Chains A and B, each alone.
Chain A
Amino acid sequence: MLFFSFFKTLTNQTVTIELKNDIRIRGILKSVDQYLNIKLDDVEVLELVKYPHLSAVKNMFIRGSVVRYVILPRSEVDVGLLEDATRREAANQAGKAR
């Protein structure tokens, strides 16, 4: 749930997603779900010459499992908050396993 909440704080920000087939897509993050499936608007495919079949695509639904990286705007990430949330999540997990 940690990254689900994290991505929800980043909605309406511009992110770049690299897929496991090496395609890189930049767009506005519109929504995320629990599987980290992602909806992107105003899509722009980097290295479009390699992937001309994507030139007409305006918005996308990306299945979470095909994502390799999401490149985030650092200025929009509250690092302190994220680290605290991580520690809390880790403590929770440890509590469950007990």
Chain B
Amino acid sequence: MADNEDTGAPVAEPLDLGRLHVSITSAREPRHAIPPPDRTTTTQAYDSHCNLVLGDVEETIYVVDEDDETEENLRTIKKQEEMLFVRG
């Protein structure tokens, strides 16, 4: 396998991308979300189970309301947290 000590660059496994991402702001959001372009979430920590700690999180939840006319309304709920652990 390629040499990937703390600073050695090559990405040999998918999770190595995470190492490059720690404390670089990324557009990763916890649940079904399209990140608004002006907001960024920071990955503070991750492990091999994809448990994460994220900073400056905005979660967007998409809810589809169905009324009797089979009309579908898309509604979004936004929640903001300063720091969040996400179970992998």
Contacts and interface: CB of A to CB of B under 8 A. Distances in A.
A77 B83 contact: yes
Interface residues of B, number: 28
A97 to B, nearest CB: 7
Given A90-B19, A94-B4, A85 B45 contact: yes
Contacts of A48: none
Nearest to A66: B87
Contacts of A86: 19, 22, 44-47
Interface string A65-98: 1011111111001010011011101110110011
Contacts of A71: 81, 83-85
A83 B22 CA distance: 7
Interface string A27-56: 000000000100000000000000000000
Most buried by B among A74, A90, A93, A97: A90
23 contacts: A2-B45, A36-B51, A36-B87, A65-B87, A69-B81, A69-B84, A69-B85, A69-B86, A70-B87, A71-B85, A72-B53, A72-B83, A77-B83, A79-B23, A79-B55, A82-B53, A83-B22, A86-B47, A90-B15, A91-B19, A93-B15, A94-B1, A94-B12
Interface of B: 1, 4-6, 12-13, 15-16, 18-19, 22-23, 30, 44-48, 51, 53, 55, 81-87
